[in-house]
C-alpha cells in the first residue's frame, strides 16, 4: 500500500476532491464531454473497481494468468465479460496444454 500511495497520491487526492465537489467533478468530466451541464449529473454513491498492484506500487494494466498446481487463475480481469472472453479462454487453454507437455 505504501509504494502505491507514494506513487499515486496526487491521483488519489484528485479523486477525493471530485467526490466531495460537484464543481470539481464536472470540470474533470467536461474534458471528455465538453457539453456536459450541471443538470446532467446527480449525487450517487461512488463505484469501486478492483485494481491489482505490484509489490513496487505500480498498477497492473493487464491480466495476470498463473497456474498454481492444477488451478489456473485469471487475476485483474476488468469485468465478468472479460473473464468469459473466448480469446482469453483459448489463451488459458493453450497455457495449460503447454504446461502439460
pLDDT at residue 71 in the model: 82
Same domain for 50 and 70, yes or no, is no
pLDDT score of 27 more than 80: yes
In 3D space, the residue among 76, 75, 72, 73 whose CA is nearest the CA of residue 97 turns out to be 72
Report yes or no: 57 and 4 within 8 Å, Cβ to Cβ: yes
Same domain for 52 and 69, yes or no, is no
Same domain for 55 and 37, yes or no, is yes
Same domain for 80 and 92, yes or no, is yes
Q: How many distinct structural domains can be found in the chain?
A: 2
- What's the CA gap between 98 and 92, in Å, rounded? 10
- Rounded alpha-carbon distances, angstroms, from residue 95 to 61, 66, 75: 20, 9, 15
Range of the domain at 81: 64-100
Mean predicted confidence (pLDDT) in 22-35: 93
pLDDT, tens digit, 9 for 90 and up, residues 43-97: 888 777 777 888 888 888 777 888 888 788 888 776 666 667 788 888 888 888 8
In 3D space, the residue among 12, 11, 38 whose CA is nearest the CA of residue 25 turns out to be 38
pLDDT at residue 80 in the model: 67
Same domain for 42 and 3, yes or no, is yes
Q: Which three cell numbers stand for residue 80?
A: 465478468
Mean predicted confidence (pLDDT) in 3-21: 89
Amino acid at each position: 500500500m505504501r509504494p502505491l500511495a507514494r506513487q499515486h497520491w496526487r491521483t488519489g487526492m484528485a479523486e477525493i476532491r471530485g467526490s466531495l465537489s460537484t464543481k470539481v467533478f464536472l470540470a474533470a468530466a467536461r474534458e471528455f464531454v465538453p457539453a456536459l451541464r450541471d443538470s446532467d449529473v446527480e449525487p450517487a454513491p461512488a463505484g469501486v473497481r478492483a485494481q491489482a498492484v505490484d509489490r513496487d506500487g505500480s498498477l497492473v494494466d493487464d491480466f495476470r494468468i498463473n497456474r498454481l498446481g492444477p488451478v489456473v487463475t485469471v487475476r485483474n480481469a476488468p469485468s465478468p465479460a472479460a473473464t468469459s472472453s473466448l480469446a482469453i479462454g483459448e489463451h488459458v487453454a493453450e497455457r495449460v496444454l503447454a504446461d502439460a507437455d
